[in-house]
Amino acid sequence: MERVDVTILGRDYSLACSVDEKPTLVAAVRHVDQLMLRIQGTGKVSSNERIAVMAALQIAGELLAMKAPDGPLGGLAVGDFKRRIEDMNAVLDDALSGQEKLL
């Protein structure tokens, strides 16, 4: 593990990660810091906690809207994929509970 010192919204953090993960971690820190600074710059949100929550929601939205690459799931957003898996699990749960009633 390697120690990585970073700054997010003017606060210093010391993080640990593997050497292979360091470039991704640094890019993530840069993305979060820029987003939080942009939110802070609007002047509408002042508390660091609220800024962090707003940034987390925006990043979660970005993740859920990401499209799968070409292939059997090409063009499907991660959020849609997650919903489809949850729907399939619900159907399976219903089918299994119906089978248990027959036994």
- pLDDT tens string 34-65: 999 999 999 998 899 999 999 999 999 888 77
- Given a cut of 80, whether residue 18 has pLDDT beyond it is yes
**pLDDT given for residue 88 in this prediction:** 86
**pLDDT given for residue 59 in this prediction:** 93
**pLDDT given for residue 29 in this prediction:** 96
What's the full length of the chain, in residues? 103
The gap between the terminal CA atoms of the chain, to the nearest Å, is: 53
Domain 1-65, CATH: 3.30.160.880
Instruction: Tell me the average pLDDT of the chain.
Output: 87
- In the chain, which segments carry CATH 3.30.160.880? 1-65
